[in-house]
Chain A
Amino acid sequence: MELKTVYFENPGEENTDEVLRIARERAEELGINTIVIASVTGKTAVKAMEALKGFSIIIVSHCTGFVKPNTQEFSEESRRAVESKGGTVLTVTSVFGGLSTAMRKKFKTHALGDIVANTLRIFGDGMKEAIEIVVTAADAGLVRTDEAVISIGGPEAGADTAIVCKPINAIDFWDLKIGEILCKPRFL
């Protein structure tokens, strides 16, 4: 089966609109109803609610306290915008971060979550994000593990990667299988 994939010259926010367009097109072709999207500040989330109207949208934010205690980077305005349009914003512990980040911060040592995350980063930060959030959404009960979704990730801001996969719970992580790679940066 020969399909299209799009390689962006560079990673980052500049690719967001194109990623959302590609995701919509492929979701329609495959009959996928659910799209999971990583969004830190809410900017990508708000764009997605417009570009992906009609789909079930799950936005996964950073955990609260990611940058500093008691601080949430996802703006209240964006949260309201997403929810008013029927989207869901999920704010929970990061699957690859969590205790692994605690180990790194306190003991300057890399634990399993860091190893997994950095291994996935050889395909780009966006690939790591797209995979992490789909597992997060499954653990939150927001997506089923027997129905394919499109998952969209990026580096700190914006989106540059989209994949098709069936979500999986974190406890079954090694059984995750990535179906299609719709777009990613090429890292020239």
Chain B
Amino acid sequence: MAREIEMSREAKIVYFKKPGKRNTDEVLRIAKEWADELGIKTVVVASVWGYTAKKAMDVFEGMKVVVVTAHTGWYHEPGLQRFTEESRKIVESKGGKILMAPHVFGGLSYAMQDKFETAMLGVDMGNTLRILGQGMKVVCEVAMAAADAGLVRTDEEVISIGGTGMGADTAVVLKPVNVHDFFDLRIKEILCKPRL
């Protein structure tokens, strides 16, 4: 049963000593604890290869899980999708949704950066969010990608999970927005992140 959110309240926040994969299990545990506490039914999880996605399907059993992968053709390798077939089968067999879509902050901005060595809007925004960690940039990006794909609603809070390279190191509570409403996004709670 979800606890009614009080006015000003003290909550815990976990800071990891270092970013990266080693924090994945703890991130998922914290996210599940807070999903239960706040009555949140949906979790969005960034997963490049499927490592985090497979673990998430077990931890979030009974919840709606949306897995957002890296886009196909990552690092200029046309057609390459790093999310493994094995991971896909496991996620889908357990009722999870997998989204492969352009990176919200990447896309054309990365094209400009790579071809013309010029930072454009998405790169600037991504780098701004990175001052709170790579995972913080990712949690915003995947939540919006999921909203644009119609996989999450924009009027219900979700927990969004991201990381640095492989695995997860950051989890937040937010209400997703479509990309075209990015500046209306508000990060409500930060459950865990690396201490940078």
Q: Which A residues have a C-beta under 8 Å from some C-beta of B?
A: 1-9, 15, 18, 112, 115-116, 118-124, 131, 173-174, 176-181, 186-188
Residue of B with least CB distance to A8:
B8
Pairwise interchain contact B11-A120, C-beta atoms closer than 8 A? no
Q: Shortest distance in angstroms between B129's beta carbon and chain A's nearest beta carbon?
A: 6
Residue of B with least CB distance to A175:
B131
A-B contact pairs, 9 of them (CB 8 A): A4-B11, A5-B190, A8-B8, A119-B124, A120-B128, A122-B183, A174-B131, A181-B190, A188-B5
| Cα–Cα, bound, A188→B7 (Å) | 9
- Total contacting residues, chain B, CB less than 8 A: 34
Pairwise interchain contact B130-A174, C-beta atoms closer than 8 A? yes
Pairwise interchain contact B8-A179, C-beta atoms closer than 8 A? no
B 1-15 to A, binary, CB cutoff 8 A, 1 in contact else 0: 000011111111111
Residue of A with least CB distance to B129:
A119
| Cα–Cα, bound, A2→B128 (Å) | 25
Residue of A with least CB distance to B185:
A122
Q: Shortest distance in angstroms between B66's beta carbon and chain A's nearest beta carbon?
A: 20
Pairwise interchain contact A121-B5, C-beta atoms closer than 8 A? no
Residue of A with least CB distance to B121:
A115
| Cα–Cα, bound, A6→B140 (Å) | 21
Pairwise interchain contact A5-B10, C-beta atoms closer than 8 A? yes
| Cα–Cα, bound, A177→B128 (Å) | 10
Pairwise interchain contact A179-B13, C-beta atoms closer than 8 A? no
Q: Shortest distance in angstroms between A188's beta carbon and chain B's nearest beta carbon?
A: 6
B window 65-83: CB within 8 A of A? none
Pairwise interchain contact B186-A9, C-beta atoms closer than 8 A? no
Check B188 for interface membership: any CB of A closer than 8 A.
yes
